[in-house]
Amino acid sequence: MPVISVPQAFNEEDLYIDLEPMFGHRLFLKCEGFNFAGSIKLKAATEMVESAERSGVLTRDSILVESSSGNLGVALSVIAASKGYRFVCVTDSRCNLATRQMMEALGSQVHIVSHEHPTGGLLGARLEYVRGLCAADDRYVWLSQYTNPDNWKAHYFRTAPAIARIFPQLDVLFVGVGTTGTLMGCARWFRSWNRPVRIVAVDSVGSAIFGDPPGRRMIPGLGMSVRPPLLDEAYVDEAVRVEEADTIRTCRNLAKRGFLFGGSTGTVVSGAMSWLARHETRSLTPVAIAPDLGERYLDTIYQTNWVQALYGDQDLVPEAPPDHGVAGRESSTANGRAR
Ligand SMILES: Cc1ncc(COP(=O)(O)O)c(C=O)c1O
């Protein structure tokens, strides 16, 4: 039984869902939403803050500032409150209301950018605002998740070894991409592991991460309108793109079975399932990473009016997929380990 005195000390690292009964392909989904920030970003935030403290960049007088579509902002709010720092989160109009309210409840200041930068879009406008703050007052410390190597190191030190410990026979790892911190940390760690692991990045259609032109993306978390500075494609075996309509379909399918996940999980699971359907996978051990849970998306992905206004009347709540005769099985601890 863990007993903690600071919120960042707790993170459930070993919870997986066996998705085969739901989707018909073997896939273990690593759940990263069970901590006090509700997402995988708690690890990146912790690593970046502690590294800045060690190097002396962050002091008692500092004011943390960061551009975030939400989850890193919540994670930094948790850590700032716990450690007694002020924190300003610069986000944009796509940030979910619940996420913004959570940051404010934790004592952070939230600045919402609503006009796009002439060439850099909403992200460009956020970054311009952050740069302005830092130029005006040297108490501001910008951790810069898009360029900070401590972002990927969090996953190199924690996420990847945790997966390897549970799945020593891992063959394929599916990772959703935003800053690419999770992808690069895991990919670098598995590159020097004792067996080859295929690293498959999963991105949204409309994201420019792998060189496509940027397009409309409405679901926060995954994708970027520019190429992420942390990305080194030499470590990535494949990139799969997922339409937002498929993300929503997959999220809603998971919810029908009682698993309420965020949009990036719907994207990763959808991309992984299409990859698995195209490969001979019966003897493979594949794992995908679920970055957060679904409460923050109740007014978007799980809201019929929002979905219909953006994606039209296409059927985004399909019939339940086949059960494969295992409905009612509640735990797969024994076969979840290293087959
Ligand atoms: C919900 C969610 N999924 C995925 C990601 C992407 O993770 P990364 O920035 O490590 O690429 C993020 C990043 O903010 C996120 O909030």
Percent of the chain with pLDDT over 90: 78
- The reported pLDDT for the residue numbered 318 is 56
- Give the distance (Å) from ligand 1 centre to CA of residue 314: 27
- Give the distance (Å) from ligand 1 centre to CA of residue 75: 12
Question: In this structure, which residue's CA is closest to atom 12 in ligand 1?
Answer: 221
For ligand 1, mutation pick of 34, 41, 144, 148 (most atoms within 8 Å of CB): 41
- Give the distance (Å) from ligand 1 centre to CA of residue 183: 10
- The reported pLDDT for the residue numbered 317 is 63
Question: In this structure, which residue's CA is closest to atom 13 in ligand 1?
Answer: 221
- Residues 137-166 pLDDT 10s: 999 999 999 999 999 999 999 999 999 999
Ligand 1 atom nearest the C-alpha of 69 is: 14
Q: How confident is the model at residue 327 (pLDDT cuts 50, 70, 90)?
A: very low
CA distances from 71 to 5, 258, 274 (A): 22, 22, 27
- Residues 190-221 pLDDT 10s: 999 999 999 999 999 999 999 999 899 888 77
Report field, pTM of the whole predicted structure over 0.85: yes
Ligand 1 atom nearest the C-alpha of 71 is: 16
Q: Cβ neighbours of residue 174 under 8 Å, at least 6 residues apart?
A: 27, 200, 202, 240, 268, 271, 272, 275, 286, 287, 288, 289
Question: Is the Cβ–Cβ distance between 125 and 226 less than 8 Å?
Answer: no
Q: Cβ neighbours of residue 286 under 8 Å, at least 6 residues apart?
A: 26, 27, 28, 170, 171, 172, 173, 174, 272, 276
